[in-house]
A = this chain, B = another copy of it.
Amino acid sequence: MLNETKYKKVTPEIIKELATIVGEKYIIYNDPESLEVFSHDEIPGSVYRHMPEAVVRPQTAQEIAEIMRLANREMIPVTPRGAGSGLSGGAVPVHGGIVVLVDRMNKIIEIDEKNMMITLEPGVVSNDINECLKDYGLFYAGYPMSLETCYIGGNVAENAGGGKAVKYGVTSRYVLGLEVVTPTGEIVELGGKLIKNVTGYDLLQLMTGSEGTLGFFTKIILKLTPLPKAQADLLCLFQTIEQAIELVPRIITETGVTPTSIEFMDKDSIKVACDYLNETLPYENCGAMLLLTFDGSDMEQVEKDYEQVGKFIEKNDVQEIYVADNPSTTERIWKIRRNIAEAYNIISTRQSGEDLVVPPAQIAELLVELQYIIKKYDIMLPCFGHAGDGNIHARIVCPPEWSDEKWEATLPKILEEVYAKTISLGGMLSGEHGIGCKRVKYINKFISEEHLNLLHIIKRGFDPNNIMNPGKVF
């Protein structure tokens, strides 16, 4: 374990020095009310919260480099923060110190049509990327479900996934270049406007998903694809969770068609999101739904694809299949899917959002186990997510009548069973949300000591004083 006991406090002298770097008006200090919002991310409840001592809002890589050199000299922990929309406590300053907020670094630097690439600062809201690309007939396919609020810098830091990963992959597939400020305050360019590059080890991919522990991303080059001209969704209703989920891996293998998305929602998840949005879906008689998206360069091909998959699903135990082939219906359905997490955040502050990932063909077995756990502990455990990737978000929600003591005593037992099953199926702790501080104590159940040692070697080498986002990942 890296030494986390020697950190120093942020003093008024240090604040003065920070002010010479970023300007006084871009520092929040001695103002608990304003600082509070930076003490947490989107995890509900009070467990994964910690107040920063100061928040600074730099505008350039050079400023961040100076902050890092100061922090190293003074032994002050630094936590990078984007939109704060994470679900693993990655942006929570668990050792206090300085939060570095990238909200002022929000420029779209260049749209390079000829190379089909875009260069961005880290504070650009992910949804704005595709908004500005529409007119160019281009598309950034790596965005996650929280696209309306999250920043691209956070997406890269977490290697965010999302709904389109079955066909398009996750964020990392699109990251071609990064300007990085290292924990020791060097500015390094990695990659570039290059589709292929084997000049040295792949530090781009090492940085992507490093959860703010190995460097700040101050410039990001993303690969774009032609904007799909046609899209349609199939919403498939099943009586039971098992009937829905067992089809998931078979859709691709038995039809040869790769949908853009294969999303799963159990009835509880749908109900909570519909109530939250005041929306309707015909979920009353079903136990679960699959939401499949198909996209492509023309509607004829998209129709052919969804008809082929639709026929395959019809031959199985489906209740009903609805086709959504216009943007407004599609958006209505996807909005429900996107808001499940948010809806659950409001229901209870006592919950644990899991982000399990298993081999896609093992996902039914995982869901069966989760059903067993629901009954055993008499809890709510709604499941939804990216079934086509083997990635399921399972929310362990505390029953309202439980005391805090009962919840705190029982949750570790539930997690132990959930993780044991995940491991036995060849699965991992997180598919896309990250380890952060939420899962840090569980990572050693999933990866070996020798594996952890390699992670430590990299972290120690890049950040010898362990001041960059300490208390995260491992």
Contacts and interface: CB of A to CB of B under 8 A. Distances in A.
Contact of A451 (B200, B206, B361, B461): B200
Nearest to A160: B198
A214 interface: yes
B199 A208 contact: no
B193 A426 contact: yes
Contacts of A457: 458, 461-462
A219 to B, nearest CB: 13
B427 A194 contact: yes
Given A202-B172, A209-B201, A389 B161 contact: no
Contacts of A460: 461
A224 to B, nearest CB: 10
Interface stretch (A10-18, A108-116, A145-153, A399-407): A108-116
A172 to B, nearest CB: 7
B461 A430 contact: no
A137 B457 CA distance: 42
A169 B225 CA distance: 13
A357 interface: yes
Given A192-B359, A297-B256, A430 B113 contact: no
Contact of A200 (B112, B227, B258, B473): B473
Given A113-B253, A189-B448, A206-B206, A198 B455 contact: no
Contacts of A389: 195-196
A267 interface: no
Nearest to A192: B426
Nearest to A433: B198
Interface stretch (A29-37, A180-188, A281-289, A313-321): A180-188
Contacts of A195: 165-166, 357, 360, 389-391
Given A194-B357, A195-B389, A210-B201, A189 B451 contact: yes
Nearest to A459: B201
A117 B359 CA distance: 10
Interface in A295-340: 297-298, 301, 304-305
A159 B202 contact: yes
Contacts of A454: 182, 188, 203, 461-462
A461 B170 CA distance: 29
B196 A165 contact: yes
A391 B197 CA distance: 9
Given A206-B205, A450-B186, A461-B461, A200 B115 contact: no
Nearest to A297: B256
25 contacts: A112-B359, A115-B360, A115-B362, A116-B252, A137-B256, A182-B454, A188-B448, A188-B451, A193-B426, A194-B357, A194-B428, A196-B357, A196-B389, A197-B428, A197-B430, A198-B434, A198-B435, A199-B429, A201-B209, A201-B214, A203-B451, A203-B455, A227-B256, A454-B462, A457-B458
Given A198-B432, A199-B443, A297-B305, 5 more contacts: A169-B173, A194-B359, A199-B429, A226-B257, A454-B462
Interface of A: 112-117, 137, 158-159, 161, 165-166, 169-170, 172-173, 182, 186-190, 192-203, 205-206, 208-210, 214, 225-227, 229, 249-250, 252-253, 256-258, 297-298, 301, 304-305, 357-362, 386, 389-391, 426-435, 443, 446-448, 450-455, 457-458, 460-462, 473-474
